[in-house]
Structure 1
C-alpha cells in the first residue's frame, strides 16, 4: 500500500471530524452567499477526487451519480454546468446521509486506486487534491462559525475548543528592515500553488514592521475613539460599506451591558483583550492603521520579514493587490482555473490562522479575498 493511501485516509477523516460536532440541520444552512453548507464542502471535495482522479484514470469506474457533477462543481467552467453558488442552501437533496454515502463510495475506490504507488504525474494531481481539501477544511471552520454565530441562540460548536496561546513580543519594538533587493516566491521541492510562482526579486525601501498582531484591546480603543464614525480613516468605497451596512465593530462582536462580547466556538463569551483581533475586513484593517498614523505592510515586506516574528494565528491583510508574479502561467484545462482567474479586485493576505490545517501553512502562501469580507480568520500587523 502506498504512503499516499495513508495521507488520503487521514485527510478525509479530518474533514469528517470537523463536522462531527454538528447536528443534521447545521449541515444544510447557507445564511449568505459567501458561506456554503457544510454538506456541500463534504460533497465538493469528494467530487474533486472523483472528477480529476477516478473518472480519467480508473478504467471502468462507475460514477456514483451523474447529477453530482452539477451539484458539487464549484467554479470549473471546463467541467460543465453547476448549481449557482447562491443556490447551494436550497439543496435539501442530496441529503446529509447521501453525501456521506458518496464520500464512502469514492473513498473505497480511491483506496483501491492508491494501493499501488501512483505515477509522478498523478502524484502532483493527488497532492493538489490533498491541499484543495485542506483549504475546504479551513472554509468549513469559517462557514460553521458563521452559521452558528448567526443563530439567535449562539449555540456552541465545541465547548472544549481551545484557541492557541498568543506568543507576543513583550517589547513591541518594530522590526527595522533595510532597503535592498529581496527574493520572494516559492522555491524548493515542496508543494505550492501556482500563484506562489515564480520566485523573483523585489526592491524594498527601508521599512519597519510590528512583531505583534493588533489585539482586541488595541482595537477597542479605535472603536471608542469613534473610528467607525470618522470618514477620514476610510477609503471612499469602505466608508460607503460602513454606512450602508451599519458596521460598528468586527464580525461576531456584541456590546452587552457596556461590555464587549464575541461569538466563539464555545458560544458567546466576554471579549479576550489579549487575543489578536479577528474577523475584520481589509477596509477595517486599513482604517485602523490610518487611525494609528501607520499602514499595512505589502505582501513582499511581510514575506521578507516573516522569519523575524511569530505568525500563524490570523491571516494578515496586506496592502498588496492580488496579481500574478512575473512569468506566471495557468495550467491547461480545469486545473488552470484554480487561481489565475481570480486575480482581480482582491487583496492578498499572508500567514495562516488557528484553523489552518497543520502543515498547510508556509511563508510564501498567498491567500486572497475581496476587501469587504471578514468571516475568514483575518487580522492585521502594522508597518511604517
Structure 2
C-alpha cells in the first residue's frame, strides 16, 4: 500500500460539508489501496469550542475507519472579533508548521485550500521537503472574500492573500478544482498547471430511494448546513413569503446566524419556519425521509463555488431549489434537478415558491424518482476517483 497524507482544517466528528468532503476523499483513497493519514486541528467546529474528548489535550491520534487521524493543538474560536479569529488561525498554523517540519511525512500529500494561510504553511514546508503536493481547491480565496465583502479589494490584506494564493498554485504539482470555474481561474494565472475537476460527490451507497412522499401534507422545504454569512439563511427567512402557500420551511444546522434566526422565528410564527438545530449526518438523513425539496442558497454569486448540497441531496432524490448563481445553476438545469431562482432576487424566489406550492404530491414524487436515477448515473464518486487515479493524480 502506498502512503498518502491529507492536511485539512476540518474532519469528523466535526460536521459540515468541508469535513464530509475530506472524509470521503480519505475513505476512497483507502478503498483504492492507499494507506491514508490525516492531520487536522483538535475537533471544535462549528461552535469554536473543543469537543469534550479533546479538552486539555495538546494532540490526539485516532484510527477512524482505517484512517489514521492526527489532531493537533488549536486555540478555537468563532468570535466576530478579528484579532481573536486571527489568533485562532495562527495557533493551528504554528502547530501545523512545526508538525510538518519535524515529523516524517509521506511523499504524496493532499493539501486542502482554503483556509489560505494553512494551505500556504503546508505548501511552504512540503515544497522544501520536495514532496508531491496535490492541492484540493474547494473555493477561490481571496476572490470569494472580495465577493462576500469580507475583504476590501486593493487592501494590504488582499495583496497579501493574492501572494499566498499564487504561491500555493505555483508550488503544487497537481491541482484538484471543485468546479470548472476554479480550473479556469487557476489556468488564467498558470496556463500549464496540471488541473483536474474533482466534484464533491457524496458516497451514500443508497441503491434504492428511501424518500416517502406524504399525501395531504404541506410541501416540506428544508435547508440543512452551515448558518453562516455566505449562505444568507437569516436574510432568506426575512424575505420569504410563505403566507397562503402550502409550504413549510425547515432549518437544520448551526453557525454565526443561529441566534438571529431563532429570534426571528419566535416573532414570525405565521411564516411557517421551523428550526431543528444541528443533527448528525445519518440522523439528519433519516429525519429528512418525509421531506420534499432542498433549498440551496448563497447570499451572493461566488465565482468558483458549487455547493456540495446539490450533489448530496440530489443523490438522495430531493428536488433542488437553487438560489446561488454561478456554475450551480448550470448543473441544476443540465440534470433537471429542480428550479433555479436568480441569486439575490427574492421576487424571483417567491415566484418559484408559488409555482412549487401548486404542485401535487404525485408530481413531487415523480420528480424525486427522476432525480434519484439521474444522480445515480451522473454523481458517482467511485468512478471519479478511479479516473483520477488512472491519470496518476494521487
TM superposition score category, shorter chain reference: under 0.3
Q: Greater RCO between the two (CA within 8 Å, min separation 6)? A: 1
More strand by share: 2
TM-score normalised by structure 1 residue count: 0.24
